[in-house]
């Protein structure tokens, strides 16, 4: 098979050389209400890969990126979160064409944060990608939370753009008595 990025023959979806090119460039963003959102990759570096999200190989690409992010995170934070019983909640964690985007990510972080798979779902079937801030503000995702209350949790998503999804998700979780510590996303695509 061919490497997705350089098209050279490879035994993996992304060859070792290209894999090394995808660097971790950690960023922190103070989002709405001073809520912290941390990300791992430069948007430009992985924009091409993120375009595969709705294709059959998307789940494998997401797994590679999430795994890289996890290894970095694990190394950086070492034992900070160990035995603290913190859960992970993926934003809109449901299957959209083949797999759940945030589900793949929280699965890779499962050794640090306990995944609550499929617990936070949008009931409004809209996509924000390529839409204006105005559109995003006018069309809420109407999340419902089906997980446990009275827990500490970290929110996960693939991309933060305006931050409105994370804001809305966090508000729903707070109403459900979930203590949301911060959010982790693969990348920050600030507009
Ligand atoms: Zn390659």
In order, the DSSP letters of the chain are: -B-TTT--B-SSSS-HHHHHHS-EEEEEEE-GGG-EEEEEEEHHHHHHHHGGGGSTTHHHHHHHHHHHHHHHHHHHHTTTTTTS--EEEETT-S-BTTB-HHHHHHHHTTTTSEE-TT-EEESS----TT--HHHHHHS---EEE-S-SSEEEEEEEEEESSSHHHHHHHHHHHHTTEEEEEEEEEEE---
Band (87; pLDDT cuts 50, 70, 90): very high
pLDDT score of 191 more than 70: no
Q: Does residue 129 carry a pLDDT above 90?
A: no
At 74, the pLDDT band (50, 70, 90 cuts) reads very high
Output the pLDDT for position 91: 96
Distance in Å, CA 116 to ligand 1 centroid: 34
- Tell me how far the alpha carbon of residue 106 lies from the centroid of ligand 1, in angstroms: 26
Query: Does the pLDDT value for residue 149 go beyond 90?
Result: yes
Q: Tell me how far the alpha carbon of residue 6 lies from the centroid of ligand 1, in angstroms.
A: 4
CA of 10 to the centre of ligand 1 (A): 7
CA 47 to ligand 1 centroid distance, Å: 16
Distance 144 CA to ligand 1 centre (A): 40
> Could you tell me the distance, in angstroms and rounded to a whole number, from the CA of residue 1 to the centre of ligand 1?
11
| Listed residue (38, 67, 175, 191) closest to 128, CA to CA | 191
Query: pTM (2 decimals)?
Result: 0.92
Query: Residue 135: what pLDDT?
Result: 87
Distance 2 CA to ligand 1 centre (A): 8
State in Å: Cα 140 to ligand 1 middle. Answer: 39
Å from CA of 13 to ligand 1 middle:
8
Classify 24-188 by CATH class: alpha beta
Distance 156 CA to ligand 1 centre (A): 28
CA of 17: how far to CAs of 12, 47, 48, 72, 92, in Å?
11, 18, 16, 18, 33
Distance 21 CA to ligand 1 centre (A): 9
The model's confidence at residue 56, banded by pLDDT at 50, 70 and 90, is confident
**CA–CA separation, 67 and 6 (whole Å):** 21
Q: What is the C-alpha to C-alpha distance for residues 55 and 98, in angstroms, rounded to an integer?
A: 8
167-175: average pLDDT: 97
What's the CA gap between 48 and 11, in Å, rounded?
Answer: 20
Distance 61 CA to ligand 1 centre (A): 13
Per-domain residue ranges of the chain: 24-188
Q: Whole-angstrom Cα distance, residue 184 to residue 36?
A: 9
């Amino acid at each position: 098979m061919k490497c997705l990025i350089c098209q050279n023959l490879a035994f993996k979806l992304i060859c070792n050389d290209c894999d090394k090119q995808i660097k971790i460039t950690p960023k922190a963003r103070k989002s709405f209400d001073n809520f912290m959102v941390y990300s791992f990759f430069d948007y430009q570096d992985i924009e091409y890969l993120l375009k595969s999200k709705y294709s059959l190989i998307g789940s494998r690409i997401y797994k590679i990126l999430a795994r890289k992010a996890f290894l970095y995170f694990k190394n950086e934070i070492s034992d900070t979160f160990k035995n603290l019983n913190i859960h992970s909640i993926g934003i809109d964690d449901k299957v959209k064409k083949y797999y759940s985007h945030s589900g793949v990510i929280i699965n890779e972080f499962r050794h640090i944060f306990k995944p609550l798979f499929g617990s936070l779902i949008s009931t409004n079937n809209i996509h924000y990608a390529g839409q204006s801030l105005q559109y995003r503000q006018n069309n809420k995702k109407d999340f419902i939370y089906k997980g446990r209350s009275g827990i500490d949790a970290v929110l996960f998503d693939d991309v933060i753009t305006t931050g409105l999804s994370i804001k809305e998700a966090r508000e729903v979780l707070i109403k459900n008595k979930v203590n949301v510590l911060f959010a982790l996303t693969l990348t920050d695509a600030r507009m």
